[in-house]
Structure 1
């Protein structure tokens, strides 16, 4: 039988994968996914392979083209897993990796039938056109006949994308207790209403959500709508992030489009509350624009627009790393928002109380010193963070 590389080339280029399942972690001390499945899908009329990465408490997805699939599949088998089953239209393959890292490949008769990839079907959203949803109707996104208003279709897709990101988080929330959620800078609260509808009406959670915004007119509008919809445990208050002191603990903190260092204040609040889940989409990031210095990067930074984008990426990198040092498993994702910029970065963090931070602190310190910056987030977090820096 051929080696792993040859087999992967064969099943991707000459056969059709029905499904692949990779399991049995080689190094159990490695904190990572414990299983990966692969199937073929169609996205925008293009064939892809969808990888599902199963962690202890959530699942993540990647859609890869053929070349990317070959590389990723090879790395997963050689580096992470002891066994892999690959089911194609022609054969079933089993790959076993021994303790020395050597592979044994078995080829058997095909046992599965091929079905058309699921993305050929109409996409099934969490919220669907044709299903009357009162909050969407009240916000002018859906008609009373269940049709999505054409001019609001981008907003409808954005709401669904947001709920998909939230759905990956709910396993971190205890369904047996009242879940407290704070939404800083909620604005007209499209996403806040969507979150309440999803968690309470669809998932059956007992929640208490507070939406916070500076604009009195926005708070009045949202409060009246919450009453009209009988969203009894959703309330809105006027105020800023830094001055909110009503709770001593919160389960989930959301901060979408808090400008500049207001995001840092929101993250500091979330960590002080020991929030299990944090979702943050920063915007208007000016802090590092005048601060960053790096002689090696002058060819980039002499162009204003590139320097601005670089400063924004540096800011979010700092934030993500600070959260990791504070014990969170942090992800940086793409989030689509049609009201602001076409594509924003979302920082999504789950508290797992990671105390093995010595290397994280070292990396963070080197990174910060390389750019000669003293980020405001350290001031926002205070001694709870600076004390950890001393653990290096």
Structure 2
């Protein structure tokens, strides 16, 4: 065991150990631990080694400093396990211990790479990086002046980055070589509006004009002041209602996040009429279908208010997506943010596609009508888009 002990001390001392796995229990016991993995982590700036013990269906974690970790590894190999794999960037060390306690070590080519970061809560490679101060995030209280995300705002930081990821995925569908109009209906405090502008204008270099629209005058005044402070000359905030807005003849991208009930449909109608290339919508409460849905078959589900509410919300988004497909969009329903942070986590992403062949459109229309009629629904969006939909429905 002396050679094994020397290797363990060297690898932990040099901080070159990437992962260790202990297996082959000497005396198996019911419910006992059958495997232990060890990996380096950083907690509060200190390098530790985390031992994860797999015992039946449970996993137990303990953290040790380097010297204590080496001591524990030696004890585990001398008393409990007969096999270990010690992995570094230079080589793997396969340790085999006989029933008599004699240890052998095989040096093999490496199978692990050094991790980018050892932080216990490993940071994702975000589009907007932590550590680089972004003026609007500092001003809105997400980051400090050094670019560090404040602990209480990390969920919001993740949400902003998830939104930017979705913007990045949609960016190839936006035109280059001319000024683009983008409207954010119901922009609220505008965390995401500023993120959209920052990414498309300053990171991707698009020539854009962004308008944030909301009914709250004090919020709009605050956001307008921030846009002026940051020198965002092509970012404008206006007080207004989604359904009544007529400020532009052409819009290339429409964003609507958490617009309540049929306000989402009003925004989608505007987007279709403008022929927007990209639509991003996160619906909020959906009351319309809740009041309409009536199905004897679905009685066992609909008799429970909480189930009816959730079903109505999902069915409403399915109707919206299908109607957008029928008028020529390619539509996806995506997870916007983890359910643990908000139950309103479905995002409708639609990009303008080529005109559909008649048979494909007929299939979509028939499927939509069957679903709508089964629910007994009279959707706002279908009524609002009647001029666009009537010729398509008639053709089928």
Q: Does 1:325 align with 2:326?
A: yes
Distance 1:156 1:183 in 2: 19
Structure 2 residue runs without a partner (length 5+): 1-38, 40-110
Tell me the residue number matched to 1:124. Answer: 125
Distance 2:327 2:225 in 1: 38
Tell me the residue number matched to 1:13. Answer: none
Distance 1:337 1:325 in 2: 29
Report the alpha carbon displacement of residue 354 of structure 1 after superposing the two structures with TM: 3.0
Tell me the residue number matched to 1:308. Answer: 309
CA contact (8 A) 1:378 1:386 kept: no
Report the alpha carbon displacement of residue 374 of structure 1 after superposing the two structures with TM: 1.2
Tell me the residue number matched to 2:370. Answer: 366
Distance 1:114 1:177 in 2: 48
Tell me the residue number matched to 1:210. Answer: 211
Q: CA RMSD in A?
A: 2.2
Tell me the residue number matched to 1:252. Answer: 253
CA contact (8 A) 1:158 1:338 kept: no
Tell me the residue number matched to 2:222. Answer: 221
* 1:299 aligned counterpart, secondary structure: helix
Greater Cα offset, 325-334 or 115-124: 115-124
1:380/1:337 CA distance change after superposition, 3 Å:
farther
Distance 1:116 1:328 in 2: 44
- Paired residue total: 282
Distance 1:282 1:161 in 2: 16
Distance 1:137 1:339 in 2: 25
Structure 1 residue runs without a partner (length 5+): 1-44, 46-112
Report the alpha carbon displacement of residue 145 of structure 1 after superposing the two structures with TM: 1.7
- Listed one character per residue, the Cα deviations across residues 314-335 of structure 1 (whole Å, up to 9, x for unaligned) are 1110000000000000000111
Distance 1:162 1:337 in 2: 12
* 1:290 aligned counterpart, secondary structure: helix
1:221/1:352 CA distance change after superposition, 3 Å:
same
Q: Does 1:378 align with 2:382?
A: yes
* 2:181 aligned counterpart, secondary structure: strand
- Listed one character per residue, the Cα deviations across residues 206-238 of structure 1 (whole Å, up to 9, x for unaligned) are 110000000000110000000000001000000
Report the alpha carbon displacement of residue 291 of structure 1 after superposing the two structures with TM: 0.7
Distance 1:290 1:278 in 2: 27
Tell me the residue number matched to 2:290. Answer: 289
> 1:1-392 alignment to 2 at 5 Å?
122-336=123-337, 341-356=342-357, 357-392=361-396
CA contact (8 A) 2:188 2:219 kept: yes
The structure with more radius of gyration? 2
Report the alpha carbon displacement of residue 304 of structure 1 after superposing the two structures with TM: 0.6
* 2:258 aligned counterpart, secondary structure: strand
Distance 1:177 1:215 in 2: 32
Report the alpha carbon displacement of residue 283 of structure 1 after superposing the two structures with TM: 0.8
Report the alpha carbon displacement of residue 115 of structure 1 after superposing the two structures with TM: 5.2
Distance 1:183 1:304 in 2: 32
CA contact (8 A) 1:278 1:349 kept: yes
Distance 1:226 1:196 in 2: 10
CA contact (8 A) 2:155 2:341 kept: no
Distance 1:326 1:218 in 2: 35
1:119/1:345 CA distance change after superposition, 3 Å:
farther
Report the alpha carbon displacement of residue 179 of structure 1 after superposing the two structures with TM: 1.2
Report the alpha carbon displacement of residue 175 of structure 1 after superposing the two structures with TM: 2.1
Distance 1:294 1:235 in 2: 46
1:223/1:339 CA distance change after superposition, 3 Å:
farther
CA contact (8 A) 2:279 2:349 kept: yes
CA contact (8 A) 2:211 2:236 kept: yes
1:152/1:372 CA distance change after superposition, 3 Å:
same
1:346/1:118 CA distance change after superposition, 3 Å:
farther
1:189/1:314 CA distance change after superposition, 3 Å:
same
Distance 2:340 2:236 in 1: 23
Distance 2:117 2:146 in 1: 27
